């Protein structure tokens, strides 16, 4: 077997001194704000879909495109966004991405019809793909030691909390109907936040980049785009569109595109070039096994958040604000576990991930029993034990997994590594919405909401069991 060539580390230019981390507390807070916005906007739309449908007469297929259009453009461009940050400077790309995110959010909020909203959401996802990879890459290249460990834990906490907070915030904004804006407020709220973020970013984020940036891998970028589109597009749109011929043709193309992408990237890696996704990176045990956990965790998380929003609103008749507030215990528990995680990791290592999986599984099991027993009379207090336990278990897992994935990636490949991890997470979230969402909606049409929710939760329980088993193979310590 031939060896893959791993490029030697190269220095990273930053605005601080060469011996000290250049990222201060305000800069870290600003980066975490940038990390929160794209994830909040992936989920904030879930509770607004009924009002969007009512106002724009969108229909099921276009409603799914409102979610899928954002997720697809976001997922396929993330790795490229990380590469561009390595080349042109991560602060510059962060500022460009954040400004574009604000403008596209404004376009979403002002959209006069459903197709315009879909187009604006695609552009919003592309803007997010420019901004988000710079967060992790800057943390990796501008911090070290305990400060990096703390920053990565805070990033993981922010990512998980944002996914839950998105639906809570969406419910509050839709119900508040500020100045008659209705669902439009879930997008327009981004505009003032982005303006504040731009001012803070320009003053507090250090300018880092790879000292020897590689050119854009055009062939790899195109093949990765084809592979992700031919997998995610038919899975997200197939059910609503009635599984037409194009969905099956796309799924047939996916394995061919994936194999071609791997071969092109492996050839470039062996030639000493830097491909879009260097296969040599997967020689890092921490990255390889960490990504294996990101997949089932994120598929289950993405599916759960979509399904619970539909079940609470359409199945139980809850309003937008009530369905959002039902997840508050999950958010609070997640945040508490995330804060405790760094201290627990020092003592128990990656077994914290296994413990978190067990606790999350207990929470989902309680939810299954509660749904079976109390449907359709479920209320906030009935849901609280299950969602709180599930959130606490997730909070123990996600920050540690993120920290582990990036722990051994050299600084000069920080943009590439962060892009690979976030692409994996985002693609898995979209897969969760597509697969578990389609399963739930299909079962709801034939067997009712209670049966559909029960089965979907049991499938998620299987995903959690897989995560727990995979966690046993993790390195015991995290650097």
DSSP codes, 316-385: S---HHHHHHTTHHHHHHHHHHHHHHHHHHHHHTTHHHHHHHHHHHHHHHHHHHHHHHHTT---HHHHHH
Residues 6+ apart with CB under 8 A from 236: 64, 67, 68, 71, 72, 430, 433, 434
Which class for 215: exposed (0-12), middle (13-18), buried (19 or more C-beta within 10 A)?
Answer: exposed
Q: How far is CA 441 from CA 246, 444, 453, 457, in A?
A: 21, 5, 9, 13
Cis peptide, bond prior to residue 344, ω within 30 of zero: no
Which residues on adjacent β-strands are paired with residue 209?
Answer: 13
180 against 108, higher pLDDT: 108
Q: Is the pLDDT of residue 7 over 60?
A: no
Q: Name the range with the highest mean pLDDT among 3-7, 164-168, 325-329.
A: 325-329
pLDDT digits (tens, 9 = 90+) for 412-466: 666 677 777 878 887 888 788 878 888 888 888 777 888 888 999 999 899 899 9
314 in Cβ contact with 47 (< 8 Å): no
Q: Pairing between strand 209-210 and 12-13?
A: antiparallel
- pLDDT tens-digit series, residues 19-30: 444 788 898 899
**Would you state the pLDDT for residue 213?**
65
Whole-prediction pTM: 0.77
pLDDT at 412: 65
Do residues 274 and 217 lie in contact, with contact meaning Cβ atoms separated by under 8 Å? yes
Residue 23, SS3 per DSSP: coil
Torsion of CA 55, 56, 59, 64, to 10 degrees: -100
Write out pLDDT tens, residues 160-178.
Answer: 778 777 777 877 887 777 8
355-404 pLDDT, tens digit each: 999 999 999 999 999 988 878 787 778 888 898 999 899 888 888 887 78
Which of 102-106, 334-338, 374-378, 417-421 shows the lowest per-residue confidence on average (mean pLDDT)? 417-421
Q: Evaluate if residue 112 carries a pLDDT over 80.
A: yes
Provide the token pair at 113. Answer: 């019809």
Q: Which residue has the tokens 């958010």?
A: 331
CA 433, chain centre distance (Å): 12
Phi, psi of 13, rounded to the nearest 5 degrees: -85, 135
The per-residue pLDDT for 402 is: 79
Per-residue pLDDT averaged across 282-294, rounded?
83
Contact indicator for 371, 450 with CB cutoff of 8 Å: yes
Cα–Cα distance, 168 to 179 (Å, whole number)? 20
Say what the pLDDT of residue 13 is. 42
Q: Which of 129-138, 251-260, 327-336 has the highest mean pLDDT?
A: 251-260
Tens digits of per-residue pLDDT, 16-59?
A: 334 444 788 898 899 999 989 988 887 788 777 778 888 888 77
Average pLDDT, the chain: 82
Q: Tens digit of pLDDT for each residue in 197-254?
A: 999 998 888 888 776 666 777 888 889 889 888 888 888 777 777 788 999 999 999 9
Whole-angstrom distance, CA of residue 199 vs CA of residue 178: 26
Taking the C-alpha atoms of residue 459 and residue 307, their distance in angstroms, rounded to an integer, is: 12
Q: What is the structure's pLDDT at 415?
A: 66
Candidates 189, 224, 190, 239; CA nearest to 65 is 239
Residue with tokens 């989920």: 43
- In contact, 54 and 179? CB cutoff 8 Å: no
Given the structure tokens 């990504």, which residue do they identify? 291
């Amino acid at each position: 077997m031939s060896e893959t060539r791993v490029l030697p580390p190269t220095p990273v230019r930053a605005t601080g001194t060469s011996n000290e981390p250049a990222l201060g507390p305000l800069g870290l807070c600003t980066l975490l704000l940038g990390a929160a916005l794209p994830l909040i906007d992936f989920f904030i739309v879930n509770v607004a879909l009924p009002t969007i449908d009512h106002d724009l007469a969108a229909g099921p297929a276009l409603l799914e495109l409102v979610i899928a259009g954002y997720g697809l453009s976001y997922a396929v461009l993330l790795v490229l966004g990380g590469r561009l940050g390595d080349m042109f400077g991560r602060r510059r790309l962060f500022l460009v991405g954040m400004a574009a995110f604000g403008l596209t959010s404004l376009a979403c909020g002002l959209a006069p019809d459903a197709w315009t909203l879909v187009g604006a959401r695609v552009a919003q996802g592309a803007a997010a793909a420019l901004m988000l990879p710079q967060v992790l890459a800057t943390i990796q290249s501008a911090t070290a030691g305990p400060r990096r460990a703390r920053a990565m834990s805070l990033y993981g906490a922010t990512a998980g909390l944002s996914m839950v907070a998105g639906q809570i915030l969406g419910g509050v904004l839709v119900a508040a109907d500020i100045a008659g804006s209705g669902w439009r407020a879930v997008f327009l709220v981004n505009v003032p936040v982005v303006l504040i973020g731009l001012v803070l970013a320009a003053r507090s984020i250090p300018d880092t980049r790879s000292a020897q940036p590689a050119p854009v891998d055009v062939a790899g970028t195109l093949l990765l785009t084809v592979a992700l589109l031919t997998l995610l597009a038919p899975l997200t749109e197939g059910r609503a569109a009635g599984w037409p011929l194009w969905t099956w043709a796309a799924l047939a193309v996916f394995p061919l595109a994936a194999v071609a992408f791997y071969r092109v990237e492996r050839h470039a890696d062996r030639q000493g070039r830097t491909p879009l996704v260097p296969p040599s990176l997967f020689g890092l045990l921490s990255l390889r096994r960490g990504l294996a956990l990101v997949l089932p965790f994120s598929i289950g998380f993405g599916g759960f958040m979509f399904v619970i929003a539909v079940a609470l609103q359409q199945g139980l008749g809850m309003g937008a604000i009530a369905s959002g507030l039902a997840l508050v215990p999950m958010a609070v528990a997640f945040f508490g576990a995330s804060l405790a995680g760094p201290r627990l990791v020092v003592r128990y290592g990656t077994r914290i991930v296994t413990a978190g999986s067990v606790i999350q599984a207990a929470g989902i099991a309680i939810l299954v029993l509660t749904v079976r027993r109390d449907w359709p009379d479920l209320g906030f207090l009935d849901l609280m034990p299950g969602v709180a336990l599930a959130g606490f278990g997730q909070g123990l897992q996600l920050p540690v997994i993120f920290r582990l994935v990036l722990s051994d990636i050299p600084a000069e490949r920080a943009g590439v590594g962060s892009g690979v991890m976030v692409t994996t997470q985002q693609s898995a979230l979209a897969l969760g919405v597509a697969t578990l969402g389609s399963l739930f909606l299909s079962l709801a049409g034939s067997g009712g909401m209670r049966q559909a929710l029960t089965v979907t939760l049991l499938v998620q329980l299987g995903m959690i069991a897989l995560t727990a088993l995979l966690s046993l193979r993790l390195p015991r310590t995290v650097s």
